[in-house]
Structure 1
Amino acid sequence: MRTLLNVIWLVLSGFWLFLGWMLAAVIMFVLIVTIPWGIAAARIGVYSLWPFGKRVVETPTSGFWALIGNIIWVVLAGWWVALSHIITAIPLAITIIGIPFAIANIKMVPVALLPLGKRIVDIG
């Protein structure tokens, strides 16, 4: 079932989300100072490509600098990226077929809002 959901997700929106996150990551890598956010954006991009069967977990060793980086991210970009996932999830949740995809969008909100200090792991 996960594979079927991932394939449908990939065709309908996952590929475009992946491209958007990767474009953001490349821009952040070029700007050098923003490389930590670029790494996080690339990680989220891969997650958005195939989200079913994965989950986001906190990295316990991320410290003070991840907190500062997340604060900067929320102020500059994180709030509108998270809001876009929420806005996308609302019409998906209205349709029965779109409910799993709405849930996938909602699962991306925390990592889009605070990307540093998080890992994406397989559920099983």
Structure 2
Amino acid sequence: MQHNNAIRGTRVGATPARPTGRTEPAPRRAVTYWCVNRHGVEIPLAADVAPPETWECPHCGQPAGQDVQNPPGPLRAEPHKSHLAYVKERRSDADGAALVDEALAALRRRRGES
């Protein structure tokens, strides 16, 4: 069975063709970031851009900064919230009671109760 591929001689994940000899890469500089666990990661950035304040550490996932003596603090782990906790953030107890009363009144009307 023959497949009619539009692009022949390539494969998924193939690297791009090499640039011609007339091009040269943009000037770069290496910026080192340090996390609270003392992991260092060197990131190559374009020479003409300002580096970001923080970078995510590829080793532990914590935020990393450029100051080795004073790295950013660890991320605060948010506890898991239930659906009810999110609802309680949006509505007060009085709002919830009013909604329940309204739903019960509509149910009683449908059943023919008064």
Query: TM-score if structure 2 supplies the norm length?
Result: 0.19
Query: TM-score if structure 1 supplies the norm length?
Result: 0.18
Q: Which has the larger radius of gyration?
A: 2
Q: Which protein is richer in helix relative to its size?
A: 1
Higher relative contact order (CA 8 A, sep 6+): 1
